[in-house]
């Protein structure tokens, strides 16, 4: 109770708590971003083999590979990462970005994800203040980060994240945490059907698939959180962010403009911005 009182009365402690929580969660999200696509790939492979009648026994290592086990290891020398080597950001700086055993460089993405999660958590907490909305919005933020990076890397949006996000948004609508239940339900339906319609219209005209079904589910989840009224803002934001990042990749990295680009990361970024500032943008437009 004293901690809750301190969070409510001390803005400095509130910000520190939000940032620290973001760092810790960001460290776990690194595991999710790395392991979840592997887990999904192994599950799909197993299902395909079972469908074909192949019986290949699962190894002990594969059986216990999940988001919690085994412990993190260096991918080059298999050195087990100790607790002291796994402190968010601090360990990376102390180790100078290298494995203690083999000296191989550690990807800077790990501390970047941790810092980004902490920063977004602080912004979210400052925006909503000491409230139930902050707790819910932090969960929304933390779910979007792995969706952003997994889709960017692998062009997949895991149902294990998007569907719970959808149900959570609908559940919160029952208690008017962000929006009422009617807006939440219609937002989920409109979000899914809007991209579903665009997908089939594009396929009918061009004979090609312009996006994946995961994008439909993600926009449905976002619609459940922000309501149908804010969906045009989400689409506008995602288009602007996508165009900006696409141009930067072409100019700075020489990316082929014909190469497909996932839409999920831009939806995730737009959904987060809309949850925080969507109402302000709509009111500004109406005025």
261 and 194: one domain? Answer: yes
143 Cβ contact partners less than 8 Å away, ≥ 6 residues apart: 161, 164, 165
Task: Name the pTM for this structure.
Answer: 0.92
**Where does the pLDDT of residue 152 fall: very low under 50, low under 70, confident under 90, or very high at 90 and above?**
very high
126 and 137: one domain? Answer: no
48 and 152: one domain? Answer: no
Give the domain-ending residue among 110, 130, 150: 130
121 and 253: one domain? Answer: no
What is the domain extent for residue 222? Answer: 131-287
91 and 160: one domain? Answer: no
Per-residue DSSP letters for 71-125? --B-TTT-PBPPSGGGSTTHHHHHTTTB-TTT-PBPPTHHHHHHHHHHHHHHHHH
171 and 216: one domain? Answer: yes
59 and 136: one domain? Answer: no
Number of domains observed in the structure of the chain: 2
Give the domain-ending residue among 130, 145, 171: 130
- pLDDT tens digits, residue range 204-257? 888 887 788 899 999 999 999 999 999 999 998 898 888 888 788 777 766 666
- pLDDT tens digits, residue range 51-87? 887 766 666 556 678 888 888 888 788 888 888 888 8
Give the domain-ending residue among 130, 163, 188: 130
155 and 243: one domain? Answer: yes
């Amino acid at each position: 109770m004293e901690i809750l009182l301190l969070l409510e009365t001390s803005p400095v402690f509130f910000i520190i708590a939000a940032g620290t929580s973001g760092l810790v969660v960001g460290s776990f999200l690194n595991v999710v971003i790395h392991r979840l696509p592997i887990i999904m790939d192994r599950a799909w492979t197993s299902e395909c083999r079972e469908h074909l009648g192949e019986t290949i026994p699962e190894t002990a290592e594969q059986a216990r590979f999940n988001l919690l086990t085994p412990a993190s290891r260096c991918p080059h020398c298999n050195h087990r990462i100790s607790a002291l080597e796994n402190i968010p950001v601090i360990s990376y700086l102390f180790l100078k970005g290298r494995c203690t055993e083999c000296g191989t460089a550690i990807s800077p993405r790990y501390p970047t994800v941790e810092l980004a999660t902490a920063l977004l958590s602080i912004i979210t907490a400052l925006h909503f203040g000491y409230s139930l909305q902050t707790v819910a919005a932090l969960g929304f933020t933390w779910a979007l980060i792995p969706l952003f990076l997994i889709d960017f890397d692998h062009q997949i949006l895991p149902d294990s994240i998007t569907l719970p996000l959808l149900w959570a948004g609908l559940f919160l609508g029952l208690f008017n945490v962000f929006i009422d239940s009617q807006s939440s339900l219609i937002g989920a339906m409109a979000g899914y059907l809007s991209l579903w319609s665009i997908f089939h219209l594009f396929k009918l005209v061009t004979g090609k698939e312009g996006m994946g079904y995961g994008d439909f589910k993600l926009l449905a989840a976002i619609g459940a959180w922000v309501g149908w009224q804010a969906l045009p803002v989400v689409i506008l934001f995602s288009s602007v962010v996508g165009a900006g990042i696409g141009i930067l990749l072409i100019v700075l990295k020489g990316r082929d403009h014909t190469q497909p680009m996932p839409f999920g990361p831009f939806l995730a970024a737009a959904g987060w911005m809309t949850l925080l500032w969507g109402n302000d943008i709509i009111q500004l437009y109406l005025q």
